C-alpha cells in the first residue's frame, strides 16, 4: 500500500495536497480504493459550495458498497474532477494521481493539522 509523504490524510481515508497557490486538492487513499474494490460511480460536490470539516460532500460507489467522502477541512469547493466522474475506475488504477475535488481552505494551516504519512500508516494498518 502506497502512502506518499508529501500529502496529509484524514482518519476517514481522504488525502489532501496543499498546492503552491494555497488551494487544497483532495482524493481518497490507496487504502480506501483497495477496500472499496472496483469503483463504478462518483458523485462529487458542486463548485461554490461552502463546506465544514467532516461534512459529507461526495459519494463513491463500488461493486461492494457506497461510501461517503468527507470534507477534510473547512472551505469552499472550487472544482470537481469531471474526468474521474467519467472514468471512476481511474481511482483504482492511481488513487493519488486522480483527485476528486479542489478546495479553497478557510485556513490553510488546517491542512497542516491533518495526519502525516506515518500517523495515517498506523490507522491504515489497524
- Cα 13 to chain center, whole Å? 7
| Strand 50-51 with 56-62, pairing | unpaired
pLDDT of 27 strictly over 80: yes
CATH number for the domain that contains residue 81:
2.40.50.100
Q: Is residue 125 assigned to a domain?
A: no
Q: Is residue 67 assigned to a domain?
A: yes
pLDDT tens string 5-26: 999 999 999 999 999 999 999 9
Domain range for residue 55? 8-107
User: What SS3 state is found at 68?
Assistant: strand
In this prediction, residue 1 has a pLDDT band, given cuts at 50, 70 and 90, of confident
Q: Per this entry, what is the length of the chain? A: 126
pLDDT value at position 82?
A: 97
pLDDT value at position 2?
A: 85
Q: Is residue 65 assigned to a domain?
A: yes
Q: Is residue 113 assigned to a domain?
A: no
Q: Is residue 43 assigned to a domain?
A: yes
CB atoms within 10 A of CB 4: 12
pLDDT value at position 108?
A: 86
DSSP 115: B
Q: Decide if 57 contacts 46 (C-beta within 8 A).
A: no
pLDDT value at position 89?
A: 95
Closest CA to 91 of 28, 2, 17, 26: 28
Q: Decide if 62 contacts 38 (C-beta within 8 A).
A: yes
pLDDT tens string 51-67: 999 999 999 999 988 99
Domain count of the fold of the chain: 1
Amino acid at each position: 500500500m502506497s502512502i506518499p509523504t508529501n500529502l496529509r490524510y484524514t482518519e476517514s481515508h481522504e488525502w489532501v495536497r496543499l498546492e503552491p497557490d494555497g488551494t487544497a486538492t483532495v482524493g481518497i487513499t490507496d487504502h480506501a480504493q483497495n477496500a472499496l474494490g472496483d469503483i463504478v460511480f462518483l458523485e462529487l460536490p458542486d463548485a461554490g459550495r461552502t463546506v465544514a470539516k467532516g461534512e459529507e460532500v461526495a459519494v463513491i460507489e463500488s461493486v461492494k458498497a457506497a461510501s461517503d467522502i468527507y470534507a477534510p477541512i473547512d472551505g469552499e469547493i472550487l472544482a470537481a474532477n469531471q474526468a474521474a466522474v467519467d472514468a471512476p475506475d481511474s481511482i483504482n488504477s492511481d488513487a493519488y494521481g486522480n483527485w476528486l475535488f479542489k478546495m479553497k481552505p478557510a485556513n490553510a494551516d488546517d491542512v497542516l493539522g491533518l495526519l502525516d504519512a506515518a500517523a495515517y500508516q498506523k490507522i491504515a494498518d489497524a
